[in-house]
Structure 1
């Protein structure tokens, strides 16, 4: 598919995804608390500084406004019981040209209602930004170009993405570098579709007297990858970077070498505790690389600025000795990719994965039957079928193919036939991955055979 950018307006089908979990409190009163988290599904991190607004559904004039903190958390105290309308805004929303719709939330008297507001997921966003016809070997790259020291958008810069390609012609094969401009808008944002996912990409921004470093980016097929760029004066040397180098088990690595790619002679050696400090660096987005004997070189991106000290954490795996092998090149199916990602998540966060083989052996009548043997989960009879509950009979959050389902714990057997369930992930309490965060009562992810 050819590279292209699209300026998308008023995406009525997309917007803030809201998951509501009511946490009962003893001594119900007429007033309640409405709290939650704003989450950036593209960066897989909280959306710090987001403007969050709430108003009673019957009186939208009485709008209350708060700003999310550095962890994306927000809170409205002493709200009245009833239906409330919530929405949020952030520069990232403008970057993607989203017109965020409002959502209604029912607040019970005396309760604390927890709400997760998030941007649409990467795959869903990709379909909207780039169209349904996009091939499975390309993705989209989005981001914002900002001045590192003023922390303000920049539009008077040139930005581009580049990657190596093999060029065949005139009886020879040569490796060339393809360089494609990023369409930076007035607000400093850019969206580029059709970016190859099977190549090592490098992005960079530069302008009159300012530039970023060369930043390495990996774009996954069929989804959206976000990489912000900040620019500064290359000759200015007033930024500071600290960090730690550890192995993949969290142990510090001493005497490792940390360098700034693109700045000759700038590096530091870690102490016995794995810590390092680099002073007198130029502002902007730069790629750092850590090297140590017996370890695989590891890279990380740092946003350097005179406004704050940047921090980078490295996790360096050991070199894996392997035998020569025959490699069969093919495409990973959607089902295989989702299972691989689910296995990695459950290993990392201590969740439970119910695999296709286990589902086939159990031959469940309803999806809820798969959760009967999962520790920390209860399957109880409800008004229209089974419902699922966590410890203390609190209500867990339910996702279907990565999308949060409101009231999914009460409608789990109506969401999808048991025969269509490919795999199930279960996380107890608050240990779920941040992109599938719930309200502290556990998370259930259903994946279907697609």
Structure 2
């Protein structure tokens, strides 16, 4: 269904129905080939063309065009040596969002973990290493990741040579050997040089997204925070649930929506400077989804993946709160988790908590908050307490201004850094 069948050299086209049937009439007599155009075949870089066939006056020509099976295509794309690692394959295209040209040379990777062994007691932890497959986008814009299992939940990402990168896109396969997923990746925004010695300015993107946030019943969710993962762009939904985010990087990105009482929700979107994206996000009531043993397994794997475990192991000049320590604090607000952390003072300004670094010379240094690797843009002072519950936090890292790792530094500033990792990011089964 959904394939277009064209009589080569003519303007005659027909579309297939749910049974794969098509009808093309008013064909001039002669010998023609049929060309099949289908989104799946296009994604795979395949052009399906029939052998020449004769069309006579006042006659009906019947034909069948066979589409290659998933097993055949996987064997075609993947060398036998790769298929020994796993029978599955993930195939797609990676393009430039502004021009649709192939993103040749971009590196595509998928990360997943093997499924947990059923029946394990909750107190038994089994450390599992991430499974990784990588490849490079070919000249025609296609990529082929081979050696995958037939059942998995993972994260897919594409990165250009200049550093431009997509969001981590959730991908899953429950049956079959072939899955499809295409993406777009833009160049890394350039940093404008300055002659005055001032801090360099990062050029913003020009993409925009219009959206609406709804509850499970279809009603609008007002006052929800909507942010783009990996950058500090954020906004609040209006009374009708609508929101707008602009000056965004192009390509395959992900937004995260948070509101107290609802499950934080991540959704992948395609952004381009050519036209604004439009998206509707539905929030569900927050309820635990994983069993205790699944939570422990996913948590340990997730903290390893985001680098928390390695930085804690090496000290890295920081102070670390792991999941068990956070649980013991029984905090009511996010800022409560930081009240006894060395180098951080929590002070109140009205009803809002302010975080201050005590390690600066005057004892009133700035603090930058990072959530899931992105700088938290404060829409109101201390608003992290309004949108992130302590129960959503899996781990926290705190660094003084002189010891902040580069990925958590702010250009032109020497602020202390509070780095929080949420359960949405760390304990997701799609890793």
Between Structure 1 and Structure 2, which shows a larger proportion of strand residues? Answer: 1
Larger Rg: 2
